[in-house]
Amino acid sequence: KKDPIRVAVTGAAGNIGYALLFRIASGQMFGPDQPVALNLIEIEPAMAALAGVAMELDDCAFPLLEEIVQTSDLNVGFKDCDWALLVGSVPRKAGMERADLLGINGKIFVGQGKAINDHAKRSCRVLVVGNPCNTNCLIAMRSAPDIPDKQFFAMTRLDENRAKTQLALKAGVKVKDVTELCVWGNHSPSMFPDFYNAKINRQSAAKVIADESWLKETFVPTVGTRGAAIIKARGASSAASAANAVVDTVSDLIKPTRGGYHSVCVISSGEYGVPEGIITSMPIRVDAVGNWRVVEGIKLNDYAREKIAASNAELVEERSVAFGQLGL
């Protein structure tokens, strides 16, 4: 009998949590024969709502779900976890400066990083979704010195998935025919979805679509501002699609990559001239024994390099503001 994979989820009573937990418990993240245990972490005011979510999980009678822990104590929440999905964060409110947001969330991610360091398994892998996710991830990583840096990730898979669909719609192909679409940089409107190296039926997407002004002036901003468009249409931010991207990110990190690559934010060691020591989105492949690496040898033209550099400059700036405020 397999031991369960223990997954800690922060912000478990939030929008994304509500869409995510049921997919983990049903086996869509780790496979149909892999038991799971869920450590649901919330802040005190949301504990009653969290109890309701846990009741609904119970009511699904998921055969794979072996245990549910509900807590607002990080030391309990991250105890022995194999994965920490850091979804909860404080949203930007009217009148709040970006620097304030970085400071407020930074403190949260310092605390979570420390608790992961002290209580999670050494092999724990951490995926940060809560925004600003790249910098929050960097802060958590810094606060967890005993967990290898390579085990920290932030999410740009939703951006990749959004970009693939936009290209498929434009080209009139199926979304599965769009591959190798890397979103580079920060999970913010400055991100660069690389339509030059993306493939449509194995040919360059830029060549198939043959409309550079649409790609540069419509496609790139459409992907970058898709989150805002969802809020406008739905009156609430992306939840099911974000949860779906969490499932995609984790399930693709735990198996060898077939075909191309996927976008994940990881710690940079200067690949492609990216500044070192930021958590930034790059093309990732997982090898046969489960180690990931940044794909080498992708050709970037001047336009792509400029876009990527601008997005990464934003991350360097976020790092200096956040580290300054937190004294890191």
Site residues (CB under 6 A) for ligand NAX? 10-11, 13-17, 41-43, 46, 87-91, 108, 129-131, 133, 155, 158, 187, 227, 237-239, 242
Using CA atoms of 58, 63, 69, 75 in order, give the dihedral in degrees to the nearest 10.
-160
The nearest distance, CB 236 to ligand NAX, in angstroms, is 7
H helices of the chain, where? 15-25, 47-60, 74-77, 98-119, 133-142, 157-171, 205-209, 212-214, 220-224, 226-234, 240-253, 302-326
Smallest Cα–Cα separation from 5: which of 327, 288, 253?
253
Q: Give the CB-nearest residue to ligand NAX.
A: 14
**Please, which residue, 11 or 35, has the CB nearer to ligand NAX?**
11
In the annotated binding site for substrate, the residues are 92, 98, 131, 162
Region class of 201: left (phi > 0), else alpha (psi between -120 and 50), else beta: left
Q: What is the DSSP string of 127-178?
A: EE-SSSHHHHHHHHHHT-TTS-GGGEEE--HHHHHHHHHHHHHHHTS-GGGE
The nearest distance, CB 221 to ligand NAX, in angstroms, is 17
Q: How many CB atoms lie within 10 A of CB 201?
A: 12
Q: Sign of the C-alpha dihedral, residues 313, 318, 321, 327? A: negative
Which residues on neighbouring strands pair with residue 293, listed in sequence order? 285
Query: Is 119 an annotated catalytic residue?
Result: no
CB 61 within 8 A of CB 24: no
In the annotated binding site, the residues are 11-17, 92, 98, 105, 112, 129-131, 162
The nearest distance, CB 275 to ligand NAX, in angstroms, is 20
Q: Sign of the C-alpha dihedral, residues 248, 249, 250, 256? A: positive
**Please, which residue, 42 or 314, has the CB nearer to ligand NAX?**
42
The nearest distance, CB 209 to ligand NAX, in angstroms, is 25
**Please, which residue, 12 or 200, has the CB nearer to ligand NAX?**
12
**Please, which residue, 147 or 155, has the CB nearer to ligand NAX?**
155
**Please, which residue, 162 or 199, has the CB nearer to ligand NAX?**
162
**Please, which residue, 202 or 234, has the CB nearer to ligand NAX?**
234
Please state the φ and ψ torsions of residue 283, each to the nearest 5 degrees: -80, 125
The nearest distance, CB 17 to ligand NAX, in angstroms, is 6
Residue of 187, 262, 307, 319 marked active site: 187
Give the pairing of strands 152-154 and 125-128: parallel
Distances (CA, A) of 37 to 57, 62, 239, 242, 271: 12, 11, 22, 21, 36
CB 198 within 8 A of CB 178: yes
In the annotated binding site for NAD(+), the residues are 11-17, 105, 112, 129-131
The nearest distance, CB 243 to ligand NAX, in angstroms, is 9
Residues annotated as catalytic (active site), given as ranges:
187
